[in-house]
Each structure stands twice: as C-alpha cells, then as structure tokens.
C-alpha cells in the first residue's frame, strides 16, 4: 500500500519542509516554554488514532511515528498514551487488533468509521485548535529558525554524502559547525536575562 500523503491541512504551516522531530526534539521537552496547553486535550487522542487507522491499518509504533510526522515533529505521543487508547478503542469495538508478523496491527471497524462521522464537528474544532497551536510554534521567527536549520542540514549532509567520509572538507565542516554551536550557546547565555516578549522586568 502506498504512503498516504494526507497532511491534515498542515502543509502550509510546515512550508519549510522541516521540523524538530528528526533531531530528537519533542513538544514540551526539557526547558521548552509552552505557549499553550497540551497539543490534545483529554480524550482527543482517540480521534487522531482513528483517523490514522482509517487511512490504513497500523501497529502502535507506526501510529506514534505517523502522528509525529503529521505534526511536523513538534509533538510525539507517548507509548503510555497510545497503547491504552488503542486498548480502549478495541474494547469499544471501534478498532480490531490482528496479530501480524509478531505485531498487533489495528484496523478501524465500521463502528469506528461511524464514530468519526458522528464526531466530525468535534474533530474539525480540535484540528483548528491544533493548527493554531502549531502556527504559534512553527511560524514567525521559529519558522525562520526551522528554515535556516533545514538549509544547514541539507547543505551539510547532501554534500558530505557525495564526497565521502575521507574528504578533507568534512573535517573543516565539523569545525565550522562546532564554532557555530558555541556561538549559539553564547547567545542563549547572553540573552537569558532578557525579558520575554510582551513582558518587562518591572
């Protein structure tokens, strides 16, 4: 089965084609400032899982990675959220699990599809809120940061792969990246005492 290209209407937010997920960052990770609450409110993850399973059957890890991809890497659901939700949906008859090649693959049932249709307005409102949240994170200066980082990664790895591991430019590129990382660290340290936008120290 071909890979589904449905981006849930989020492609305009991730126009740079880059998010932090590929570099191990997660929504609300250590030191992150949450401008809003959790990405999904209580009870909403079931709608997202059902929507993913309506596209195609998936096992639990595939659901986690698919949702991370759809969110541009800005949100990764925990296994402690996904697997209990799958069990709940199976108990309710909205999905069925099938053992396939040593994994439990979940399929949406006709009841699950009907449940999605019945809650279409709720899901639309949820996705509108998610888009607003992601625009807060991925837009503006954060969008510029992502685009700059994407260009850096593409320029570095694309040419390094072409030239091979023994090319002398790779060592110089490493030195440049280390200097850049040190300079960025110094900038964060310098700006730690600065007030947040819209706030003053008074």
Q: How many domains would you assign to the chain?
A: 2
Q: Are residues 91 and 182 in the same domain?
A: no
Q: Are residues 104 and 54 in the same domain?
A: yes
pLDDT tens column, 129-184? 877 777 766 666 666 776 787 788 888 888 888 888 888 898 999 999 999 999 99
Q: Are residues 78 and 104 in the same domain?
A: yes
pLDDT at 58 over 60: yes
Q: Are residues 78 and 133 in the same domain?
A: yes
> Structural domain of residue 178, as residue ranges?
142-190
* Whole-Å CA distances, 95 to 53, 87, 105, 175, 177: 8, 9, 10, 52, 47
Q: What value does the mean pLDDT of the chain take?
A: 77
pLDDT at 25 over 80: no
Q: Are residues 48 and 121 in the same domain?
A: yes
Q: Are residues 59 and 127 in the same domain?
A: yes
Q: Are residues 131 and 149 in the same domain?
A: no
SS (H, E, C) 74-136: CCCCCHHHHHHHHHHHHHCCCEEEEEECCEEEEEECHHHHHHHHHCHHHHHHHHHHHHHHHHH
Q: Are residues 53 and 127 in the same domain?
A: yes
Q: Are residues 58 and 85 in the same domain?
A: yes
């Amino acid at each position: 089965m071909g890979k589904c290209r449905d981006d849930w209407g989020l492609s305009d937010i991730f126009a740079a084609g880059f998010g932090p997920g590929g570099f191990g960052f997660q929504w609300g990770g250590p030191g992150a400032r949450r401008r809003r609450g959790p990405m999904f409110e209580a009870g909403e993850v079931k709608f997202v899982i059902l929507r993913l399973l309506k596209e195609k059957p998936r096992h639990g890890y595939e659901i986690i990675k698919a949702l991370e991809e759809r969110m541009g890497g800005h949100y990764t659901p925990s296994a402690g959220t996904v697997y209990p939700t799958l069990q709940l949906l199976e108990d309710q008859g909205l999905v069925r699990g099938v053992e396939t090649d040593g994994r439990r693959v979940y399929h949406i049932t006709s009841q699950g599809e009907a449940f999605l249709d019945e809650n279409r307005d709720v899901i639309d409102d949820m996705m509108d809120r998610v888009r607003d949240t992601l625009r807060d994170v991925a837009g503006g200066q954060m969008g510029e940061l992502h685009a700059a980082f994407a260009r850096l990664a593409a320029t570095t790895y694309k040419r390094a792969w072409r030239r091979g591991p023994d090319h002398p430019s790779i060592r110089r590129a490493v030195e440049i990246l280390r200097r850049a990382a040190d300079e960025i660290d110094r900038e964060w340290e310098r700006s730690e005492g600065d007030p947040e936008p819209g706030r003053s120290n008074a």
